[in-house]
Amino acid sequence: MKKQHHTLISRKTIGHIIFWCVMLIYYISSAWPHESDKVFLFERMFSKTSVQIILSYLFIYLLIPLFIDKKRRVVFTILSLLAIYNAYVMHTAIRCFYLLPKYPEVYRYRPPLEFVERITNVYAFIGSITELIFPAIILIVIDYYRKQKELISLKEQKRSTELRLLKHQLNPHFLFNTLNNLYSLSLKKSERTPEVIEKLSDILDYILYKCDANYVSIANEVKLIDNYISLEKVRYGKRLNIKFDYEVKEEFKIAPLLLLTLVENAFKHGVKQEIKIASIDIQLRIKGEEIIFMIENTKPDIKTKESKKQRPSIGLRNIEKQLQLLYPQNQYKLKIEESTKSYKVNLNLFANGI
């Protein structure tokens, strides 16, 4: 990690060195045909570039972080003008007290260069502002673009991490209970043992290896739910009355495991604590460009303290987070209806939002 950090810093430093070399070459080449003394030309442009370097990094590392980023714009404006004026004075001083004495022949046929007169000339100062801050503006824009790019990259990494975590929140109790049921069936040498193994294998294979994409075929999700229901039927037997009615098209895409989370939720809150017969009704339809999903489960007659604490469930919070991450605004509708006897969830997804 440290090595990568240092590499990034060195790349940035090299980039800035190249930038200033290009600026210096640009200044020299622009004035090259008009200046006979090339050594003077180099020293003049080097001194100008040096002043611009100081001014640029004063903006980037001091004024912008301390004032613009903290919304202190008035103070920033005042201090910026002072910084530019100081740079102007510095540049004028170099010309008057270093270049003029060293190259008197160059300045012999030019307008008089008086230090006090120059630094008190408002028009001369205003005219030099753009020239002095031009490189700083370029660097500030580049730095802003780089930060925005890093921010977008970090947001995307965070989003991908959240999605991976949300996608892999299959209830561990389901796996534990399925393995227990499988063990019991194997002891009884039941003919259903291979079927249960196959369906559990399909579920794990799909969740672990086949749903890494943001959107998957809805037909695969239907198969996943079918396998899940089949395994839960083995567990609950005659205690469960479930109907899964669907009509889908292969080409339609959906965020993976969204619907399974809702099905898991119905089993957890509608079947697990029911001592009589529990009912779950699931309907899935494609209407135009819209995916319509409805799941309704009966609520157990016995309401324990534990069941009350489970609302709102982790599963539904998981669903809401995934919807916010994967579906643009107004491209989904999630409606929850709860009565004394049932719990119903309606989810509408618009395929054109993907």
Last residue of a domain, one of 144, 164, 184: 164
DSSP 161: H
Ramachandran region, residue 299 (left: φ > 0; alpha: ψ -120 to 50; beta: rest): beta
Give yes or no: residues 268 and 177 share one domain: yes
Give yes or no: residues 189 and 322 share one domain: yes
Last residue of a domain, one of 164, 197, 232: 164
CA 285 distance to own-chain centroid? 32
Report the domain count for the chain.
2
Give yes or no: residues 116 and 209 share one domain: no
Last residue of a domain, one of 131, 164, 197: 164
| Owning domain of residue 175 | 168-353
Give yes or no: residues 190 and 122 share one domain: no
CATH of the domain at 255: 3.30.565.10
**H or E stretch covering 232:** helix 218-236
* Rounded Cα–Cα distance for residues 270 and 338 (Å): 12
pTM above 0.75, yes or no: no
Other CB atoms within 10 Å distance of the CB of residue 221: 26
Give yes or no: residues 80 and 221 share one domain: no
Each residue's pLDDT expressed in tens, for the chain with a length of 354 residues: 444 444 456 788 898 999 999 999 999 999 999 888 999 999 999 999 999 999 999 999 999 888 877 778 899 999 999 999 999 999 999 999 999 999 998 888 788 888 999 999 999 999 999 999 999 999 999 888 888 887 777 666 666 656 565 555 555 666 776 788 787 778 878 888 888 899 889 888 887 777 777 788 899 999 999 999 998 888 888 888 999 999 887 678 888 888 888 898 888 878 877 778 899 999 999 988 889 999 999 988 765 444 444 445 666 777 787 788 778 767 889 999 988 888 999 999 986 555
